């Protein structure tokens, strides 16, 4: 389940699910909002949320990571989260 807000680097980001016509997600760092495609599968939405959180961290901390690096981090971290639920308090 995706919450309505997330605290990322001491900034509150509003999260919304909306049809995005081709894009899966978007992070607006100035407006402190994340939009995720409402038409995509829930697992894809969760993965995209992780990606957009990394985008917010990248901007907030001036890391200047390339999109390719953010995508690789998202893929790896999403796998850690979903394959190790006991670690973060999920079931299994």
**Per-residue pLDDT tens digits for 39-75:** 999 999 999 999 999 999 999 999 999 999 999 999 9
Q: What's the pLDDT score for residue 80? A: 94
Determine, yes or no, domain membership for 88. Answer: no
Determine, yes or no, domain membership for 20. Answer: yes
**What's the structural domain count of the chain?**
1
Provide the domain limits for residue 18. 5-83
Q: What's the pLDDT score for residue 52? A: 98
Q: How far apart are CA 20 and CA 81, in angstroms?
A: 25
Query: Averaged over 73-84, what is the pLDDT?
Result: 95
Q: What's the pLDDT score for residue 49? A: 98
Determine, yes or no, domain membership for 74. Answer: yes
The residue among 16, 23, 19 whose CA lies nearest residue 39 is 19
Q: What's the pLDDT score for residue 86? A: 86
Determine, yes or no, domain membership for 16. Answer: yes
């Amino acid at each position: 389940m995706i919450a309505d807000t997330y605290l990322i680097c001491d900034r509150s980001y509003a999260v919304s699910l909306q049809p995005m016509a081709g894009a899966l997600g978007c992070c607006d760092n100035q407006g402190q909002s994340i939009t995720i495609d409402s038409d995509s599968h829930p697992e894809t939405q969760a993965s995209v949320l992780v990606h957009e959180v990394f985008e917010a961290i990248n901007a907030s901390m001036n890391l200047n990571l390339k999109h390719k690096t953010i995508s690789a981090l998202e893929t790896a971290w999403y796998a850690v989260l979903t394959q190790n639920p006991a670690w973060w308090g999920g079931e299994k």
